[in-house]
Amino acid sequence: METERRPGIPLHEQISSWLREEIVSGRLPPDARLPSEHDLCEQFGVSRVTVRRALQTLEADGLIYRRPGLGSFACDRRLSQGLVRLTDFAQDMSRAGLEARSRVLHQEKEPCPEPVAERLGVTPGSPVLRLDRLRLGDGEPMALDVTWIPTYYAQLLEGHDLGVETIYRVLEREYGIPVVSGRYRISASRAEGEVATHLGVPAGEALLVLERTSRTLGHKAVYFQRRFYRADRMVYELEVAREPGGESSDGMPLREFESVFLDPEGS
């Protein structure tokens, strides 16, 4: 018997949402086997390609793991085992109870700077799309993003309003290109020039800088992004946990790493 479809929502998202609810609610407990791809195809009346897209999304979110020849299984959400997922800006804002909006400041092709080319795996000077966006929370400047996107992926974003839509969502929903991994680096900087102006902070003000290279299947870089956060509005908190039973040569695994947005008084 097919599950009733919801008009206007892509089928792979309907499948991933249903499975997500089964896992989060506990109806699919840790290490429980998910319905087979064949069963999901029959239940939702879709192709195997659609089912696999849904499973890729859940795997990227850390909700399931796969065993070749055996199927897909629910992850134990109570133990992260050092696997940490950094959320995107919209999710951070939602968790903080703020409305997320973006304002596109710059969107043009330009020669790729050498340090960026290394991260994207392209030739220095080759054309890339540079996208600058001011990220707002309840209308207040929170961060400034500078994003470099290789030509192949940039052309897929043409015609989309990137002040409203996210790069992830366009690539995954419209073209079936999942973003499955990323490499992050966190550092400090000082606000200068247009960065200070757009963020509404004095020149020389301390900023938190988050750099990330997001990748799709095959370890291909989809974009490299440098985000400048106002240090008076955002911090990162982490939690580590020592396993019972004594010392570990690997140290204490990182259990949580999440952004925390502060009120204007910094509390």
On whether both 45 and 111 belong to a single domain, the answer is no
On whether both 128 and 43 belong to a single domain, the answer is no
On whether both 32 and 150 belong to a single domain, the answer is no
On whether both 201 and 105 belong to a single domain, the answer is yes
Structural domain includes residue 122: yes
On whether both 70 and 109 belong to a single domain, the answer is no
Query: Would you tell me how many other CB atoms lie within 10 Å of the CB of residue 154?
Result: 19
Instruction: Enter the tokens of residue 66.
Output: 């796969």
On whether both 148 and 28 belong to a single domain, the answer is no
On whether both 115 and 184 belong to a single domain, the answer is yes
Structural domain includes residue 167: yes
On whether both 188 and 118 belong to a single domain, the answer is yes
**Domain of 147?**
97-232
Structural domain includes residue 262: no
Short-list 169, 149, 174, 165, CA closest to 104:
165
On whether both 139 and 64 belong to a single domain, the answer is no
Q: How far is CA 75 from CA 16, 19, 34, in A?
A: 14, 12, 11
Short-list 191, 216, 220, CA closest to 203:
191
Q: Considering its fold, how many domains does the chain have in total?
A: 2
Structural domain includes residue 219: yes
Phi, psi at residue 248, to the nearest 5°?
-130, 135
On whether both 69 and 113 belong to a single domain, the answer is no
On whether both 109 and 222 belong to a single domain, the answer is yes
Residue 198 region, left (φ>0) first, then alpha (ψ -120 to 50), else beta? alpha
Structural domain includes residue 185: yes
CATH number at residue 157: 3.40.1410.10
177 Cβ contact list (under 8 Å, min separation 6): 153, 156, 171, 216, 222
Question: Over its length of 267 residues, how does the chain's per-residue pLDDT go in tens digits?
Answer: 557 666 778 898 899 989 988 887 888 888 899 999 999 999 999 999 999 999 988 887 778 888 878 889 988 654 333 334 446 677 677 666 778 889 999 999 999 999 999 999 999 999 999 999 999 988 889 999 999 999 999 999 999 999 888 888 888 888 888 888 888 888 999 999 999 999 999 999 999 999 999 998 888 999 999 999 998 877 776 666 665 555 554 555 555 556 666 655 544
Beta bridge partners of 223: 214
Structural domain includes residue 215: yes
- Whole-model pTM? 0.63
CATH number at residue 56: 1.10.10.10
On whether both 56 and 121 belong to a single domain, the answer is no
Structural domain includes residue 265: no
Structural domain includes residue 19: yes
